[in-house]
Structure 1
Amino acid sequence: MAVLQPNAAAVVDACLSGDEAAALAAAAALPEDQGYLNYPSSKRALARWVRREAPTDAWAGRGIPLNAVAPSVVLTAMTKDLVNNDEGRALLERSVPMPLGGYATAEDVAWPILWLLSPENKKVTGQLLFVDGGTDAVLRGDNLWE
């Protein structure tokens, strides 16, 4: 759900420019207490890139659907310390609510990806699919445009 978190517009724009050195410089220029913005900024840039590129001749013009998934908390080595203690779980429950089934497994995220990549997907392109157990619905409610 990093794509919904605050981000640094300069980092997002630099990532979208395709200039890796500029993106690294923008990330390094953030004040120390805002370094955490680099992660959601990279996710926001990727989501915007997918939307921008999917309808182009390079992708849609060649019959290739281009999409991205935005999982919420996935049980991985990165999250295990958070979910394995009361304080971490409480923090996650407050900031990343997942009313449908709690934390995701890698398999929970893989199934939608498999369909998006399958021959059955003939029309879904340029989409950011929230595979998040309802986090997006809770955090944004019915406001789909922000």
Structure 2
Amino acid sequence: MADVAIVTGGSRGIGRAIVDRLAADGARVMTCGRGPRPGDLPDAIGWMSGDVARPEDARQILAAAQAAFGTPTILVNNAGVQVEKTVADSSDADWELVIGANCRGVFNMTRAVLPGMQDAGGVIVNIGSISGHVADPSMALYNASKAFVHGLTRSIAVDHGPQVRCNAISPGWIMTAMSDEAFALAENPTAAKADALARHPAGRFGSPEDIARAVAWLVSEEARFITGQCLTVDGGLTAASPLNPGLF
């Protein structure tokens, strides 16, 4: 029987790559976003407009997946937002936006699917970030939200195994609209991007498909003994010294 997967935030970027990969691997996929259904989303993919920060929307996304495909056996918590501000500059509205999507959304969706997964088994993959391990400047709420995701991942694995496996992926610089927005904050975006690229031992930035491949592996039987882990997928960025390699 084919897996049933929910992928949050699947309209573009990393989420869309995950949707496409899981569907190509034979899963029946339901995805969601706060906007309307993307026009290029294949007919076989289920869609629901909703905000995962709202518990009632999380329950409705689960209900839509169950009605269309059956009980989910895979959940990928990908939906997220970023606000480029320090703590001092962040507003209450910034807090609600970032913590709502990045923290509450992961909690809401996981809480919704766990009863069914504890009966039938399942795998959860949370999309964290290297920013949950090392702080990007002027990204205080985003950094903190991803650290929350990593911590919650471990708790889910410990509390709900062996029926449910739960891991996180910590992407580095993946070329999406969100990454472009981050580079745009620099005084010289072109120079900042070139410097960042030089710090990657892999010699390139990541693509959404790189993260989708990691998700596909973690939800497969090949990874059946892996749970409670945060897998860094960053082209070696965080393995390298912070010294500028061009000066040595």
Q: By the TM > 0.5 criterion, same fold?
A: yes
Matched, 1:86 2:190: yes
1:107-140 superposed Cα distances (whole Å, 9 cap, x missing partner):
0111011010112221000000000111221259
The secondary structure found in structure 2 opposite 1:41 is helix
Bigger fraction of residues in strand: 2
Greater C-alpha Rg: 2
Distance in 2 separating the partners of 1:121 and 1:139: 30
Bigger fraction of residues in helix: 1
RMSD of Structure 2 on Structure 1 (CA): 2.7
Question: Structure 1's 130 and 115: CA in aligned 2 closer, same or farther, altered over 3 A?
Answer: same
Q: Of the candidates 15, 39, 55, which is equivalent to residue 158 of structure 2?
A: 55
Question: Structure 1's 39 and 52: CA in aligned 2 closer, same or farther, altered over 3 A?
Answer: same
Question: Structure 1's 139 and 50: CA in aligned 2 closer, same or farther, altered over 3 A?
Answer: farther
Are the equivalent residues in 1 in contact too, given 2:153–2:228 (CA < 8 A)?
yes
Matches within 5 A, 1:30-109: 36-56=139-159, 58=160, 60-62=161-163, 64-80=164-180, 82=183, 85-90=189-194, 92-93=196-197, 97-109=199-211
* Overall identity of the aligned pairs, in %: 28
Distance in 2 separating the partners of 1:6 and 1:74: 17
Q: CA deviation at 1:61?
A: 2.8
Counterpart of 2:162 in structure 1: which amino acid? Answer: G
Q: Which region of structure 1 is more displaced relative to structure 2, 97-106 or 109-118? A: 97-106
Counterpart of 2:176 in structure 1: which amino acid? Answer: T
Are the equivalent residues in 1 in contact too, given 2:200–2:235 (CA < 8 A)?
yes
Distance in 1 separating the partners of 2:139 and 2:180: 19
1:24-72 superposed Cα distances (whole Å, 9 cap, x missing partner):
xxxxxxxxxx96310000001110111122122x2x131x210000010
Distance in 1 separating the partners of 2:138 and 2:171: 22
Distance in 2 separating the partners of 1:100 and 1:93: 9
- Indicate the structure whose relative CO is greater, using CA pairs within 8 Å and at least 6 residues apart: 1
Aligned position for 2:225: 123
> TM-score when scaled to structure 2?
0.39
Q: CA deviation at 1:90?
A: 3.8
Aligned position for 2:132: 3
Distance in 1 separating the partners of 2:132 and 2:193: 21
Q: CA deviation at 1:93?
A: 4.4
How many residue pairs get aligned? The number is 109
> TM-score when scaled to structure 1?
0.63
Distance in 2 separating the partners of 1:116 and 1:45: 20
